Amino acid sequence: DIQMTQSPSTLSASVGDRVTITCRASQSISSWLAWYQQKPGKAPKLLIYKASSLESGVPSRFSGTGSGTEFTLTISSLQPDDFATYYCQQYNSYSRTFGQGTKVEIK
């Protein structure tokens, strides 16, 4: 399986801050990476696919970049609704794997 490693595991930030989360793959996955947001007790929600394509209905303050083995999710101006846990997921193969998650907390 391809291993996905996110950093940091926890991030403390304030409303209005620019936030960046990194996801690294153990081997090249081209641009086959998705990002999800999960709030407590809820299912994950797709934010970004193909590394940088914004899912319909997702605010434009979310953006994704990267290819190969290194990827980033950026929230340009953190909003109260954005405090959640974020997961990356590779789909370079049918054996899909997720990162361990990054929790974005209120500072």
Partner 1 sequence: QLQLQESGPGLVKPSETLSLTCTVSGGSISSSSYYWGWIRQPPGKGLEWIVSISYGGSTYYKPSLKSRVTISVDTSKNQFSLKLNSVTAADTAVYYCARSGRYLGLIYFDYWGQGTLVTVSP
Q: Among residue numbers 64 through 103, which ones bind partner 1 (CB under 8 A)?
A: 87, 89, 91-101
- CB contact at 8 A, 41 and 58: no
Min CB(36)–partner 1 separation in Å: 8
Strand pairing class (102-106; 10-13) = parallel
Cβ within 8 Å of residue 28, ≥6 positions away: 68, 69, 92
Site for partner 1 in 30-49 (CB under 8 A): 32, 34, 36, 42-46, 49
Q: Which residues of this protein are in contact with partner 1, per CB under 8 A?
A: 1, 32, 34, 36, 42-46, 49-50, 55, 87, 89, 91-101
